[in-house]
Amino acid sequence: MKKKRIATTSLAGCFGCHMSLLDIDERIFDLLELVEFDRSPLNDLKKFTRRCDIGLIEGGCCNEENVHVLREFRQNCDILVAVGQCAIMGGLPVMRNAIMHSDDPLRECLEEAYCTPKVLNPENQIPNDPALPLLLDKVYTCVDVVKIDYQIPGCPPSGETIWQALNALVRNEAPALDYALIKYD
């Protein structure tokens, strides 16, 4: 069987889902028999080398770079999988959307984070280096931006969950999960 090419990325996530992928322990050797990793933080490849079969997305979109990367993944992957609650419904970053009552919500959010005396930031400066990606007005889920083919729920999904889902995907099957593996937390 031809090896499937997998690309992974972490957008507005905490890398917990990637940690969970590594949590399949020694089965990673079995996985490497079936797949080859393309663009991924695991091998530090920053660009796609060729078209991929499966793309794993961790995290939603909180800045313009996230949107750019997500669109690139959609263009270069046959199957796009949202991994974890952040990619599926925004997760923890989406809590930012709940302060939308304000007239200038993003400013209020940044001022709370950087200009209150709780953090060490003597000049009360909000980071605005041109090299930093522009923040979006609110956090968007992956389905708000591109078409997502499958979702693996969990925060993070357990190693077992990712293992079962990936095993089905590399065999061109729709993933099925045991009751005990469907978790939203």
Partner 1 sequence: MTKKITFTIDGKTIDSKSGQSIMDACEAQGIYIPRLCDSKGLVPQGSCRVCSVKVNGRVVAACTQPVEDGANIEHETNEIQGYRKDLVRMLFHEGNHLCPICEASGRCELQAMAYRFGISQATTYPYLQPVRPVDASHPDIALDNNRCILCGRCIRASRDVDGKNVFEYIGRGIHKRIGVNGDCLADTNAELSDYAMSHEVCPVGCIIRKGEGFFAPVGERQYDMDKIGSSIESPGNPSSDKLIKVHQIDPGCFNKDMP
In angstroms, the CA 96 to CA 12 distance is 12
Residue 165 and residue 150 in contact, taking contact as beta carbons nearer than 8 Å? yes
- Convert residues 119-138 into a mask of x (bound to partner 1 by CB under 8 A) and - (unbound): -------------------x
| 3-state secondary structure (DSSP) of residue 124 | coil
Per CB under 8 A, 151 contacts partner 1: yes
How many chain residues touch partner 1 (CB under 8 A)?
Answer: 44
Per CB under 8 A, 162 contacts partner 1: no
Shortest Cβ distance from residue 9 to partner 1 (Å)?
A: 17
Spell out the residues 6+ positions from residue 55 whose beta carbon is closer than 8 angstroms to its own: 6, 7, 8, 9, 73, 74, 76, 77, 79, 80, 81
Q: How do beta strands 150-152 and 4-10 pair?
A: unpaired
Nearer to partner 1, 32 or 99 (CB): 99
Binding region for partner 1 (CB under 8 A): 71, 74-75, 82, 85, 88-92, 94-95, 97-101, 138, 141-153, 155, 165, 174-180, 182-185
